[in-house]
């Protein structure tokens, strides 16, 4: 069993890539809906939640964990690995490396939660992979909550997206990294604003490939999916078609 988790619905964008790459694997997806969003919480609070979810998934038989959340990875992936030395853990980190490799203008942007934007891990990633590339980090408070509430067409969100993205484009940014898994569900809205001026960088497919490398026998299960949540698990099931993930619903047990 492969355990995948996020603060809420965002990690479903990673789960979709995992299901594409590992069609016969069995998954439990855990959404921490009682504590979403993580982006405005302290490192201690996020670590405490990540360790509790790790325990939950391990006790349900997960032999591989995917932290489908940039915020949780930046603040707590090491603590999770220390707590479960026998379980491989795949984290999700903003795609600074591919963006820095692909940029032609030498300027890239990272959209992230406040916690990720302020994390030492993000600074480390930038130092390690961005070299001479100029990186603009843009915290986007409230965006994950809009996704969580399935308010993807809210005009206030569209206006905020425009307010944050236009100045980045004016600075010459040509790659925009989606540094929060919730933002994958805002890709249509972001693409509308960005047009041909920049490309969005999402690492979900790369995370799925890394998980496949570690999956071994876990790749050969029964293709089942369980959804768990710390609050309102029924909303998770109902959200799948709203997020264009109806095809995943057929795997539900």
What residue ranges bind ligand DGL (CB under 6 A)? 6-7, 10, 36-39, 69-71, 113, 116, 144, 180-182
Phi and psi for 4 in degrees, rounded to 5?
Answer: -125, 135
Is 140 known to be catalytic?
Answer: no
- Closest to ligand DGL by CB, 178 vs 194, is 178
Which residue of the set 48, 62, 69, 140 is catalytic? Answer: 69
Give exposure, 160-173, as e/b (b: 16+ Cβ within 10 Å). Answer: bbeebbeebbeebb
Contact 175/199 with Cβ under 8 angstroms?
Answer: yes
- Closest to ligand DGL by CB, 113 vs 230, is 113
What are residue 67's DSSP bridge partners? 5, 91
- Closest to ligand DGL by CB, 29 vs 218, is 29
Rounded CA-CA distance 94/142 in Å is: 18
CB of 169 to ligand DGL, least distance (A): 23
Return the residue nearest ligand DGL (CB atom).
39
- Closest to ligand DGL by CB, 35 vs 63, is 35
3 state SS of 147: helix
Cβ neighbors of 92 (< 8 A, separation 6 or more) are: 14, 66, 67, 68, 69, 70, 73, 181, 203, 204, 207
Please, where are the H alpha helices in 96-250? Answer: 96-102, 114-117, 120-129, 143-148, 155-170, 187-194, 204-215, 233-242, 246-249
| Count of CA atoms in the C-beta half-sphere (13 A) of 87 | 27
Token pair of 160, please? 């905020």
CB of 142 to ligand DGL, least distance (A): 9
CB of 185 to ligand DGL, least distance (A): 10
Rounded CA-CA distance 37/27 in Å is: 23
Rounded CA-CA distance 199/50 in Å is: 31
Is 180 known to be catalytic?
Answer: yes
CB of 106 to ligand DGL, least distance (A): 26
- Closest to ligand DGL by CB, 100 vs 178, is 178
CB of 117 to ligand DGL, least distance (A): 10
Q: Which residues are catalytic?
A: 69, 180
């Amino acid at each position: 069993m492969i355990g995948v988790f996020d603060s809420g619905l965002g990690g479903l964008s990673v789960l979709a890539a995992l299901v594409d790459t590992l069609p016969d694997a069995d998954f439990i997806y855990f959404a921490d809906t009682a504590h979403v969003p993580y982006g405005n919480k302290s490192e201690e609070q996020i670590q405490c939640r990540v360790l509790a979810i790790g325990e939950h998934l391990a006790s349900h038989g997960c032999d591989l964990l995917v932290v489908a959340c940039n915020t949780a990875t930046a603040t707590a992936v090491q603590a999770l690995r220390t707590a479960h030395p026998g379980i491989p853990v795949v984290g999700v980190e903003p795609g600074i490396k591919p963006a820095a490799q692909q940029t032609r203008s030498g300027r890239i942007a990272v959209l992230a939660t406040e916690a990720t934007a302020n994390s030492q891990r993000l600074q480390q990633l930038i130092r390690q992979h961005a070299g001479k590339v100029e990186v603009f980090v843009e915290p986007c408070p409230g965006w994950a909550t809009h996704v969580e509430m399935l308010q993807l067409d809210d005009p206030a969100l569209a206006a905020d997206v425009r307010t944050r993205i236009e100045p980045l484009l004016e600075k010459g940014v040509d790659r925009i990294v989606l540094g929060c898994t919730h933002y994958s569900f805002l890709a249509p809205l972001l693409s509308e604003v960005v047009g041909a001026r920049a490309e969005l960088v999402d690492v979900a497919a790369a995370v799925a490939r890394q998980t496949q490398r570690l999956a071994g026998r876990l790749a050969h299960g029964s293709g089942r999916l369980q959804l768990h949540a710390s609050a309102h698990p029924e909303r998770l099931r109902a959200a799948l078609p709203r997020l264009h993930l109806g095809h995943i619903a057929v795997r539900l047990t």
